[in-house]
């Protein structure tokens, strides 16, 4: 079967990234920013609110694999603690502020972000022969900017991000959303990811071939999450796709 499309996970697959969502400095910065918007909260209060509202979103979801909405979390923080001064800032600033808070928090919490070696070169090569797409468990507030910052965003269309849907991988609907936009069948596509459960199992549910990216070596797994190919470096990806296409 001809392989017409290759779909990718992002974090841990295309981008080597490390973040600390509990980092004290991130919530200190957010708390200081909020004081200029008329909201007085200590960094510890901001952190506690962030995780509490996130948990409320998860609890309210009916999905098997629920996803939260980070912009909605910060929108709710502002709604609960807005003062008369906050509300006087004007509708446009208030509309933009939740996104700004999400970006601020993520930017400070990020410790490392770099594309894996040879990623851009291999994607440029693949794009001449295949449609390329992304299916990522992330938030658009920072997932899209991080792809752009790593120099990778222009290789992919569509870019499917779980935070926009309310559920995450291995829910097959995320993979199907990308396949539908690509107008290819699952048997014509390969998924490349670094997580056996979310990526391999999720894609296999639709009948896609799977490649497990293991830059640090094979982490092991179970038969139901066994990929069709294990990739250790991007230089071998074209060969892997050719091998799977011939099966």
Q: Per-residue pLDDT tens for 195-213?
A: 999 999 999 999 999 999 9
Q: Is 221 a residue whose pLDDT tops 90?
A: no
| Helical ranges in 82-232 per DSSP H | 84-87, 91-109, 119-127, 140-149, 172-182, 202-204
pLDDT of residue 223: 63
67-99: pLDDT as tens digits: 999 999 999 999 999 999 999 999 999 999 999
User: Pick from 105, 107, 103: which is nearest to 17 by CA?
Assistant: 107
Work out the number of other CB atoms within 10 angstroms of the CB of residue 124.
Answer: 11
66: β partners: 167
Distances (CA, A) of 146 to 17, 143, 227, 233: 10, 5, 27, 21
pLDDT of residue 220: 61
Determine the Cα–Cα distance for residues 171 and 180; give it in Å rounded to an integer: 15
pLDDT band of 222, cuts 50, 70, 90: low
pLDDT band of 216, cuts 50, 70, 90: confident
> 193: helix, coil or strand?
strand
131-170: pLDDT as tens digits: 999 999 999 999 999 999 999 999 999 999 999 999 999 9
Determine the Cα–Cα distance for residues 127 and 178; give it in Å rounded to an integer: 16
């Amino acid at each position: 079967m001809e392989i017409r499309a290759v779909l990718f996970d992002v974090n841990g697959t295309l981008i080597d990234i490390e973040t600390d969502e509990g980092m004290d400095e991130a919530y200190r910065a957010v708390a200081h920013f909020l004081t200029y918007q008329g909201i007085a909260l200590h960094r510890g209060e901001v952190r506690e609110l962030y995780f509490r509202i996130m948990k409320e979103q998860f609890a309210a979801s009916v999905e098997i694999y629920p996803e939260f909405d980070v912009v909605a979390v910060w929108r709710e923080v502002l709604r609960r603690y807005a003062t008369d001064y906050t509300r006087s800032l004007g509708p446009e600033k208030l509309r933009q502020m939740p996104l700004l808070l999400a970006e601020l928090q993520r930017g400070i919490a990020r410790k490392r972000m770099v594309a894996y070696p040879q990623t851009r070169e291999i994607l440029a090569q693949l794009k001449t022969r295949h449609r390329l797409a992304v299916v990522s468990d992330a938030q658009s507030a920072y997932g899209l900017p991080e792809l752009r910052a790593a120099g990778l965003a222009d290789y992919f269309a569509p870019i499917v991000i779980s935070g926009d849907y309310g559920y995450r991988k291995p829910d097959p609907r995320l993979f199907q959303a990308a396949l539908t936009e690509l107008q290819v069948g699952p048997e014509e596509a390969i998924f490349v990811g670094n997580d056996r459960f979310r990526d391999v199992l999720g894609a296999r549910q639709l009948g896609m071939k799977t490649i497990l990216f293991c830059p640090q070596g094979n982490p092991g797994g179970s038969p139901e999450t066994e990929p069709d190919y294990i990739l250790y470096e991007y230089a071998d990806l074209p060969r892997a796709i050719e091998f799977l296409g011939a099966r």
